[in-house]
Amino acid sequence: MIYTVTFNPAIDYVVRMDGDLLPGMTNRSSSEEYYFGGKGINVSMVLSELGLKSTALGFIAGFTGNAINDGVKAAGIETDFIELKEGLSRINVKLKGTEETEINAQGPKIDEDSQIALYNKLSKLVEGDVLILAGSIPNSLPDDVYEKILSMLAGKGIEFVVDATKDLLTNVLKYHPFLIKPNNFELGEIVGKILTTDDEIYEGAKKLQEMGARNVLISMAGNGAMLVDESGKRYRIGVPKGKVRNSVGAGDSMVAGFVAGYMKSNDYETALKMGTAAGSATAFSDGLAKAADIEELYKGL
């Protein structure tokens, strides 16, 4: 079974306008949409589109949390969220006019008992399971929560996928995650230099492998992506043609596509192509990628 963890789920409320946002004045929308999100949930949603079941874990609170739980279940995804005693799950406002403006809420406080409840759920994972940890963590959680989780599960034959930045990522490399996915700028921050060429990005990825990572997938926005697999082999891919409409969830979709591609084929080149297709399909859509769009883009890579 695949498990995703979203520490701070949200309802993303997307407001579209035909012009500029005018501060201090009444603005009128041209349309509105809402999505149930958070990086782990995004991964589960795209995995479902690609035919893979997963269980979404994390924390929810209040009536907004209940809406998130119901919405994710309605998408055909199993949920096992922990309901917090106080607070409300976030509503993030995405204003899309001539420019994009985002207002991301802080989210509820995660108490110690709820943290322990999550650890107890994760302790039941068994050999062959896949655990996907994605994104930043709320300030009510300890800075080393990723490290605690991987330490607790190390040696059980569980495959870890980690999409995080800086110390949150580097501190778990000693547990040999199956896949990590920094972008080229995040990779440069970790290794302490600006990476401008493929060779420099490859050398940066190799440094993370020396620290314990097995497969390193580096996303580079419009410049495509690079995979350095656990044997040290380098794969490079461009991006399909299309109009970028949405940046939210593209990286999560790439993670989902890669995991689905590898689990179906046991081939890294196929996984890279599927990850690229899924990430691009989300970028070219108003919401998360749909299976038909992913398949169409995959054929063109």
Strands (E) across the chain are located at 2-6, 10-16, 31-37, 54-60, 78-79, 82-83, 90-96, 100-103, 130-134, 159-163, 179-180, 215-219, 225-228, 234-237
User: How confident is the model at residue 243, as a pLDDT?
Assistant: 86
pLDDT band at residue 135 under the 50/70/90 scheme: confident
**Average pLDDT in the 172-178 region?**
97
Q: What is the mean pLDDT of the chain?
A: 94
pLDDT in tens, 97-107: 988 899 999 99
pLDDT in tens, 83-99: 999 999 999 999 989 88
Q: Check if 113 is active-site.
A: no
Burial grade of 300 (CB within 10 A; 0-12, 13-18, 19 or more): exposed
Residue 258 has pLDDT above 90, yes or no: yes
- φ/ψ of residue 160, rounded to 5: -105, 135
pLDDT in tens, 64-78: 999 999 999 999 999
Name, in order, each residue with C-beta under 8 angstroms of 71's C-beta and a sequence gap of 6 or more: 36
- Report yes or no: 97 and 21 within 8 Å, Cβ to Cβ: yes
Residue 288 has pLDDT above 80, yes or no: yes
For residue 244, is it left (φ>0), alpha (ψ between -120 and 50) or beta?
beta
User: How confident is the model at residue 208, as a pLDDT?
Assistant: 97
Any idea which of 25-34, 47-56, 209-218, 238-247 has the lowest mean pLDDT? 238-247
User: How confident is the model at residue 100, as a pLDDT?
Assistant: 85
**Average pLDDT in the 251-273 region?**
97
pLDDT in tens, 34-63: 999 899 999 999 999 999 999 999 999 999
Matching CATH number, 2-8+38-88+107-299, of 3.40.1190.20, 3.40.50.200, 3.90.320.10, 3.40.50.300: 3.40.1190.20
User: How confident is the model at residue 286, as a pLDDT?
Assistant: 84
Give dist(CA 57, CA 157) in Å, integer: 20
Residue 205 has pLDDT above 80, yes or no: yes
Residue type, 29: S
- Report yes or no: 54 and 295 within 8 Å, Cβ to Cβ: no
User: How confident is the model at residue 245, as a pLDDT?
Assistant: 82
pLDDT band at residue 155 under the 50/70/90 scheme: very high
Report percent pLDDT > 90 for the chain.
86
The residue from 129, 163, 229, 252 that is catalytic is 252
Helix (H, G, I), strand (E, B) or coil at 217: strand
